[in-house]
Structure 1
Amino acid sequence: MPAQPYDIVIRGGTVATASGRFLADVAISGETIAAVGRGLGPGAREIDATGKLVLPGGIDAHTHIEQVSAGGLLNADSFESATTSAAFGGNTTVISFAAQHRGLDLRKVVDDYSALAARGALIDYAFHLIVANPDAKTIETDLPALIGEGHASIKLFMTYDLIKVDDEPLLDVLLTARQNRALLCVHAENHGMISWMGKRLVAKGYTAPKFHAISHPRGSEAEAFTRLITAAALIDQPIMIFHVSTREGAEVIRKARGEGLKVFAETCPQYLFLTRHDLDKPGLEGAKWMCSPPPREAEDQEALWRALALGDIQTVTSDHAPYRFDETGKLSAGPQPTFKQIANGLPGLEVRLPLMFDAMVSKGRPEFGGRGLEAFVDLTATAPASIYNLPNKGAIAPGLDADIAIWDPARVVTLSDQMMHDRTGFTPFAGRTVQGWPVHVLSRGRDVIAGGAVGVAPGTGRWLKRQGGWAAEPTGRLTADMDPERNFGARLL
């Protein structure tokens, strides 16, 4: 009898994983990768990938989608527009934020946000739980229940007046995370330094967007990292430090990891490709480049690339925060706002992977020693799937979801505002030319992007249930029989 055909065979491409690359066909049955190898049997449909790269779909694990800020400002993207943009950029999974604000019930926040995603998402998704109201109900009831239901990561802010969490409730959340095997993710900057600098700059008339970068002293990052890591070590809880921007911050993380502490970290394209000088534009134009923490210096870019190559920083995310350059977004405070009144955040879902591919694969960043393609796959797909416990994602192997991006490594694209598919209206990377572009994107075997067009309906993306657990287990340092002080600490747990 003739062999039953696979549903799809991607024929003749170069498959790349975090550990290697090889010529192979990829067969898909239903939503799953059925086989990877040479000369596979026929497919009911075949995709010619000759001369192309067949890569795992990107996972953007830090995205702000259809989210209201602490100041009450709704960002520009719906789940439909954001996930469309993500897919055009080669992504098949996003993690966004169910954001609690002061006085809000976390359970209701998650239920309401889940409804938005279920209605609009084109690709698969999960949520981090932002906690800004760490009261007894949130910490003792809602977080354990939601983690148990599959929301296995929490986010805290150590700065911003309306959502920051101070040291004592930080410890409370660290303990809850440990007890329920969730990962704690943190925006870590020293709030006092930022507030103090910002007030004095504005009082002296330094109000243009470029002063935003000065208002975030670079030392505020390393200090907050150190304080956060010390608190996490007390509880023996794994943490993820978001959007590392400075050389000093990377050094703090390297030291902590060298001591065996369970510290993960990410950075973003804005810290690898932009500097604070990009904010120095006429009038308010520099507001388009305002994010927190701000872009730093060229020497910081080099330090971050080294940290990526060394494994001190394990993922690169977009931190997509889409605010339009008009009265609905960046200029919501009026036509002449100070930098303190301008919404922080950059769009980046669609350009994250092309920017990284161009730097790591096309241009061959020297830090990666000829393994730029494998490192690209790891940083943008395999590592985030592992760290965030995303089931069946992040690699090309039999049994995993058929989340695949086919890249044309020779395609040259000049980025422009007009080509973006999000609703921000601009990209801070406009005018840059990149080589390498995703030309066909499949999510669970569905043609999300093919021939430059969207092939699936809003609401067909799936929520991903993530079980509690960590990519690196705690050491049990507080429960070990070491000394009386630590034994007493163990009893507090």
Structure 2
Amino acid sequence: MYKTMDQFDLTIRNGLVASDKEVFEADVGIVGERIVAVARGLPAGKRDIDATGKYVLPGGIDTHCHVEQRSGMGIMGADDWYSASVSAACGGTTMIVPFAAQHRGHSLKQVAEDYAALATEKSVIDWSYHLIVSETDQKTLQEDLVEQIRKGITSFKVYMTYEQLKIDDYQMLDVLALASRENALVMVHAENNDVIKWVSQKLLESGRTAPKYHATSHVALAEGEATNRVIQLSKLFDVPVLIVHVSAPDAIATISAAQRIGAQVFGETCPHYMLLTEDAMDLPGVEGAKYCCSPPLRDRAAQAALWTALKEGVLQTVSSDHAPYRYDHTGKLPHGDDTTFKQMANGMPGLETRLPLMFSEGVNTGRMTLPEFVALTSTNHARMYGIAPRKGLIETGADADIAVWDPKHEVVLTASELHDHVGYTPYEGMKVTGWPRTVVSAGRVIVDDGAFDAAPGSGRFIARGTPLPFQKERQISARGQFFRALADGNTEGHTGFGYTDRQH
């Protein structure tokens, strides 16, 4: 069928290709930016990659990371779009979707435009972004947000905690109503702010200021309660929600129970919750600040619950939640050794290590199959956020975003060998087995036998389509229909719960 070498610009031959469903022997033929053939026995292309003994996987997609973003506390992360995208690529990720964050009083439209300009100039891999919405005024919700959604930014995030960013339940209803009308996916950081605030204040008053008390203040029931609350609010409109960085068994159980009765709720977790515990925050001095993130690291029982939730499909994606704050006065320690747990920037780096950690500790240990790994780190992300079938799949017509993995390549993780600008890794000294040695982004080989080569700005903006939860026709309850109509001011013929005046 393919008889001439010049039919393909690039071939990847003799490897084991994995999808989210199966693993099979095949070669991959690429012309320009797209995959044009997946079959055995393809001829060599103009450039030929021999993948004997290796896995040929869809490039990773990281849909929760913080890049060139200022935190609610005003602290700028260490990574810009260039360093973050290089780090992602070197770890096998070929598309990132970080956050354009609206802070109080800022124009959502301007925030989005400024953020896109930075990505256009610097990113070496394909990209999109979510919005972080902290204002719910008419212009933000009904004009700027709608404009962004219709431009292909079909998801946005809201916070139930952090004084500088959080919205209350009344505002949440406005947000959920808008999402139900525009078919946009709401991502929620679910923690009960008042519980955290109360416990934190009591801890500080009693002189308990060390990093380990960050975990105490973000008690697991605060995550469970907020998760339940936003699910209940979403049911007013029958609108899907996705709970990000799930860490606690209470939250997992709440999501699972809601799913069993038909609620459109989805969940994400991160490698650090499955591989690290709260003990890391109890290091000498303030070194535990390196491990402070929100929600916090939990215990081994929580780890086991997360692995089970991924296996059972309760949670659908694994993201890095890369939040790159340096371990110095610019990030974690604004007041040096006197910094309290409430003053430390929340978050840990993880863009480059996400895939190798999940491969080594998931696939190699038997906790997940290779197709499950592909689904949780790439395919499910593409489908959930409206990027499939262009991304997340190795099939004819898809973008040629591919990572060729050596399953036996061993790496000892150390900050000096990673490509972010954070200066530390929470996994320092950990050995992982399995690493992407060749990475192809839209047909370009940008990592070749571990060596990176791509120009700033060579990545592309990818407009996203309708998120997966909105793609299938589903029955909206009478209650949901009524409250959607009420939010839009269109209740003519309704007295409540979808019943018409004529029925009464």
* Superposition pairs of residues 31-50 of structure 1, within 5 angstroms: 31-50=33-52
Alignment partner of 1:147 is 2:149? yes
Match of 1:373 among 366, 370, 373: 370
- Matched with 1:477 is 477
Contact 2:318/2:377 (<8 A) preserved: yes
SS at the partner of 2:9? strand
The residue type paired with residue 178 of structure 2 is T
Deviations 1:372-408 (A, max 9, x none): 1010000000000000001400010010000000000
Change in Cα spacing, 1:2 to 1:244, as seen in structure 2 (3 Å) is closer
Residue by residue over 1:232-291, the C-alpha shift from the partner in whole angstroms, topping out at 9 and shown as x without a partner, is 111111111000001111000001111111111000011100111111100010000000
Match in the other structure for 1:455: 453
Equivalent residue number for residue 388 of structure 1: 385
Q: C-alpha root-mean-square deviation of aligned residues, in Å?
A: 1.7
Q: State the secondary structure of the residue aligned to 1:219.
A: helix
After TM superposition, list the pairs within 5 Å mapping 1:92-241 onto structure 2. Answer: 92-241=94-243
* Secondary structure of 2:409's aligned partner: strand
Say which SS state the counterpart of residue 84 (structure 1) adopts. Answer: helix
Counterpart position of 2:76: 74
1:133, distance to aligned residue in structure 2 (A): 1.3
Partners of 1:319 and 1:361 in 2: how far apart?
A: 21
Conserved 8 A contact 1:123-1:460: yes
Matched letter for residue 284 of structure 1: V
Look up the SS of the partner of 1:11 in the other structure: strand
2: CA distance, partners of 1:446 / 1:137: 41
Match of 1:423 among 412, 418, 421: 421
Question: What is the CA–CA distance in structure 1 between the aligned matches of 2:243 and 2:131, rounded to whole Å?
Answer: 15
8 Å contact kept, 1:17–1:55 = yes
Q: Could you list the structure 1 runs, at least 4 aligned residues long, displaced by more than 4 angstroms after superposition.
A: 479-484
Moved more, 461-470 or 324-333: 461-470
Which amino acid is the alignment partner of residue 392 of structure 2? G
Amino acid at match of 1:386: R
Secondary structure (helix, strand or coil) at the match of 1:165 reads coil
- Residue 447 of structure 1, CA deviation: 1.1
Residue 332 of structure 1, CA deviation: 1.9
Distance in 1 between residues matched to 2:154 and 2:193, nearest whole Å = 27
What amino acid is the match of 2:424? F
Q: Is the 8 A contact 1:100 1:131 kept in 2?
A: yes
Q: Secondary structure at the residue paired with 2:284?
A: coil
In the alignment, what sits opposite 2:14?
A: 12
Once residues 282 and 405 of structure 1 are traced to their aligned partners in structure 2, the CA distance between those partners, rounded to angstroms, is 39
Aligned to 1:400: 398
2-side partners of 1:341 and 1:360: how far apart? 34
* SS of alignment partner, residue 184 of structure 1: strand
What is residue 487 of structure 2 aligned with on the other side?
none
Aligned counterpart, 2:260 = 258
Shift of 1:23: 1.1
State how many pairs are aligned.
485
CA pair 229-310 structure 1, distance change in 2 beyond 3 A? same
Q: CA deviation at 1:5?
A: 2.5
Residue by residue over 1:120-170, the C-alpha shift from the partner in whole angstroms, topping out at 9 and shown as x without a partner, is 101011111100111111011111111011110010000011110000010
Deviation at 1:467, TM superposition (A): 2.4
SS state at 1:141 partner = helix
| Contact persistence 2:237–2:481 (CA under 8 A) | no
* Structure 1 counterpart of 2:497, one-letter code: R
Aligned to 1:283: 285
Q: After TM superposition, give the deviation of residue 456 of structure 1 in Å.
A: 1.2
Equivalent of 1:487 in 485, 489, 498: 498
Deviation at 1:455, TM superposition (A): 1.8
477-486 or 124-133: bigger deviation: 477-486
Q: Contact conserved, 1:314 with 1:379, CA < 8 A, in 2? A: yes
- Once the two structures are TM-superposed, the CA of residue 2 in structure 1 deviates from its matched residue by 5.2
Whether the aligned pair in 2 keeps the contact of 1:389 and 1:471 (CA below 8 Å) is no
Match of 1:295 in 2: 297
Tell whether the 8 Å contact from 2:61 to 2:377 is kept in structure 1 after alignment.
Answer: yes
Matched residue, 1:438: 436
Contact 1:182 1:470 in 2 (8 A): no
Give unpaired runs (5+ residues) of structure 2: 484-493
The aligned amino acid for 1:476 is: I
SS at match of 2:399: coil
CA gap of 1:2–1:15, structure 2 versus 1, over 3 A, is closer
Q: 5+ unaligned residues in a row in structure 1: which ranges?
A: none
Q: What percentage of residue pairs aligned between the two structures are identical?
A: 48
Residues 266-345 of structure 1 mapped to structure 2, 5 A cutoff: 266-345=268-347
Matching residue's letter, 1:425: G
2:409 to 399, 405, 411: 411
Q: Which amino acid aligns with 2:376?
A: L
CA-CA distance at 1:470 after TM superposition: 3.4
